[in-house]
Amino acid sequence: MSEKLKNILAASVMASIVGFAGSGQAADEWIVDAEDSEIEFTGTQLGAEFEGEFKAFNATIAFSPDDLAGSSVRVVIDIASVDTQNGDRDSQIVSSEWFDAGQWPTAQFVTKSFSEIEPGKYQAVADLTIRDVTREVTLPFDLEIEGNKAEAKGEVTIKRTDFGVGQGQWSDTAQVGDDVTIEIEIEADRK
Amino acid sequence: MVFKSHDNGFGSVTKSLHWVVAALFITVFSIGWYMDFLPLGMAKLEWMSRHKSLGITILGLAVLRIVWRLYEPSPKALSAHKLERLAAKLGHLGLYAVMIAMPLSGWMMSSAANFPVSVFGLFTLPNLVAPNKELFETLRTVHWGLSWAIAVLVGTHVAAALKHHFIDRDATLRRMLPHGTKKVAANPSKEHRNV
């Protein structure tokens, strides 16, 4: 066996050991079922609540209840996919005074840690980035895992002005309320 | 104070409702057209909010007014001509219809736009229809069309009242004025002339 081939073999053995060890440590990976998953929000306008959703998002999920330290979730939301069932409002939302999707086309949610509140109930501390503002949010959620299927539901209320959503005249919260509740409903399959 | 109307005059309840709704009609109509020309901004939303709240107030008062009208007798029409009396009846029916249809179409329009109606920030009305962009466009056209119907009906109503007052010189307008009943009662022979 040539020296070169030996080296390649050694390297590949090492890689598979490291790889194996790595995957053994990390939490289970999950693939989101886009059809049955939703990121919705409730805002208020003229004192009345309205609902909307972001139809397109990507989520990278590694989660195991018995390995919370090794779990992580990263969600990238396509701002332009917003749908509040009102054309005027949707075009406002993506405009420069609101999310400015031209400049910041996505919002990101990246977890920093998970903790278990009680069996089936967890909370995630995460960095939420909207426009150019990153803030820490805590998202409590219910999680049900049955075999290779998982369903997570949770909601968190944020203040839109904390993220600069609503510039100029819209920073006034009299007509468009400051509080926005984000509701997530995620169904995923184990990879 | 006479609460209920009688054969020759209106009671204070109907008079109050008539003038309050008249004032609200003019206000809501003016706001409606004004806000339509405003660019999308805070001011537009503020005026929309007032328009919706006052419009729903009209709807509530209109329901009260119709219930009250069915409960009390209505004064006799003073016109000598059968055709004029029929026209007045149709005109009044039309006014009652738009008092209900106009706010209702606005409420439905808000529902279709997924833009629920809050009444003075006190409570939020349930959505009458599910959000639907096509339905919203249709309702917007209906709401706009009804605004013209209101302009015609109210214009005719005012013109007819003035005709009764200045040409026929009867009590039609006076008996709807806040202190008009006494005058009607003071000259009953004339008021009964055409009945």
> What pLDDT score was predicted for residue A170?
94
**What's the complex ipTM?**
0.74
**Are B40 and A88 a contacting pair at CB < 8 A?**
yes
Average pLDDT over residues B110-136: 95
Residue of A nearest to B113 (CA): A86
As a whole number of angstroms, the distance between CA B71 and CA B44 comes to 40
Find chain A residues with C-beta within 8 A of B49's C-beta: 46-47, 175
Contact B53, B94 (CB under 8 A): no
* Domains present along chain B, CATH in parentheses: 12-192 (1.20.950)
Check B115 against A49: CB less than 8 A apart: no
Instruction: State the pLDDT at residue B72.
Output: 85
Which residue, among A46, A53, A96, A169, would best test binding to B if mutated, counting the most B CBs under 10 Å from its CB? A46
Three-class SS state of B33: helix
Counting the structural domains of chain A, the total is: 1
pTM of the complete model: 0.81
Look at A175 and B49 and tell me if their CB atoms are within 8 Å.
yes
A77-113 pLDDT per residue, tens:
999 999 999 999 999 999 999 999 999 999 999 999 9
Domain span at residue A132 reads 27-190
What digits encode the pLDDT tens for the residues A16-65? 544 444 444 568 999 999 899 999 999 999 889 999 999 999 999 999 99
Task: Report pLDDT for B7.
Answer: 81
Within a domain: A22: no
Q: Is residue A21 assigned to a domain? A: no
Write the residue in B40, B118, B136 that is nearest to A48 by C-beta. B118
Q: A70: Cβ–Cβ under 8 A, 6 or more apart, which residues?
A: A25, A26, A27, A62, A64
B154-167 pLDDT per residue, tens: 999 999 999 989 99
Smallest Cβ–Cβ distance between B114 and the set A50, A169, A176 belongs to: A50
DSSP structure class, residue B6: B
Residue A103: inside a domain, yes or no?
A: yes
Q: From the list A45, A92, A170, which residue is nearest B115 (CB)? A: A45
Q: Is residue A47 part of a domain?
A: yes
Q: What is the CATH number of the domain that holds A126?
A: 2.40.128.110
Instruction: Give the residue ranges of DSSP H helices in B72-81.
Output: none
